[in-house]
């Protein structure tokens, strides 16, 4: 009854942790494509091919449902996968929609026309590829009108996190927030549009100020998944084991994951 969690590297562990806390009896298989991280500077065809390869590996583990806990993959690959590639009996879900539903105060499956919402000025922090895709703005437009979104590509942050350099990551986050605030001085809400970024959430919050509500995806995705599986239990796969898989060096990746999450995690080769 396993579910797969895919990410380009370590960031999706924030989603994995939230799902495990909410559904402790659900086996989860995590796949980190650390050998090819970061995805945020790759082109869309490259991201698509790498994402398909990782999803197929999770299917082989008995995970009929895979969460793309990677905003770049969700932005650059998910729609193409859903339209042309995913076979019957399998599902691949992204991480944008639960976030946007929370921001716009909509329930799952609410397909009524877009309407005005309370938040008018939103800062989006994401990888360069996610920003270039405009996937967040596209999904938001289906649900809300009159929302000004200012997007900041946060080059270097994922690399610093993957390398375990917290001081560099903090400095880069502060710099990117300052750059955005020069264009949007008073955002009401901020979207952490990369699952690596919750690892730096306190730094984002400090740079933005306490008046800005910061949305990160992990708990929202976990809540949405629990609801989805209650409605569609047939997509709980046949796998029975939990595992952490990586395309990188398992020892090194295990050490970095343990460092950031502050409890022991042991990866094996994908």
Q: Which residue blocks in the chain are alpha helix, DSSP H?
A: 13-22, 44-60, 71-76, 78-84, 96-103, 128-133, 135-141, 157-163, 166-183, 201-208, 218-231, 250-261
Q: How far apart are CA 249 and CA 268, in angstroms?
A: 8
194 is catalytic: yes
Strands ordered across the beta sheet of 28-32: 91-93, 65-68, 3-7, 28-32, 243-246, 268-269
Q: How far apart are CA 6 and CA 92, in angstroms?
A: 10
- Phi/psi at 152 (nearest 5 deg)? -120, 110
Please name the residues in contact with 167: beta carbons below 8 A apart, sequence gap of 6 or more: none
The one catalytic residue among 52, 63, 154, 194: 194
70 is catalytic: yes
**265 contacts 13 by C-beta, under 8 angstroms:** yes
Q: How far apart are CA 131 and CA 201, in angstroms?
A: 19
Q: How far apart are CA 125 and CA 168, in angstroms?
A: 17
The three-state (H, E, C) secondary structure of 92-109, written as one string: EECCHHHHHHHHCCCCCC
- Catalytic sites, residue numbers: 70, 194
């Amino acid at each position: 009854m396993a579910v797969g969690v895919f990410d380009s590297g370590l960031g999706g562990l924030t989603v994995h942790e939230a799902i495990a806390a909410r559904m402790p009896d659900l086996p989860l298989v995590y796949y980190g494509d650390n050998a090819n991280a970061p995805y945020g500077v790759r082109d869309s065809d490259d991201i698509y091919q790498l994402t398909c390869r990782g999803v197929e590996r999770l299917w082989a583990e008995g995970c009929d449902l895979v969460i793309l806990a990677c905003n770049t993959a969700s932005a650059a690959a998910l729609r193409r996968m859903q339209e042309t590639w995913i076979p019957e009996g399998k599902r691949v879900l992204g991480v944008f929609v639960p976030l946007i539903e929370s921001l716009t105060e909509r329930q799952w499956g609410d397909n009524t026309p877009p309407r005005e919402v309370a938040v008018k000025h939103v800062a989006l922090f994401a990888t360069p590829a996610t920003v270039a895709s405009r996937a967040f703005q596209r999904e938001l437009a289906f649900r809300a009108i009159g929302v000004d979104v200012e997007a900041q590509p946060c080059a270097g942050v994922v690399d610093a996190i993957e390398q375990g350099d917290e001081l560099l990551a903090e400095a880069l986050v502060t710099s990117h927030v300052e750059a955005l605030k020069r264009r949007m001085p008073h955002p009401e809400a901020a979207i952490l549009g990369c699952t690596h970024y919750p690892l730096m959430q306190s730094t984002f919050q400090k740079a933005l100020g306490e008046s800005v509500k910061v949305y990160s995806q992990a708990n929202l995705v976990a809540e949405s998944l629990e609801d989805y599986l209650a409605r569609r239990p047939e997509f709980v796969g046949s796998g029975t084991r939990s595992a952490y898989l990586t395309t990188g060096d398992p020892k090194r990746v295990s050490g970095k994951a343990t460092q950031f999450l502050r409890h022991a995690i042991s990866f094996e080769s994908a």
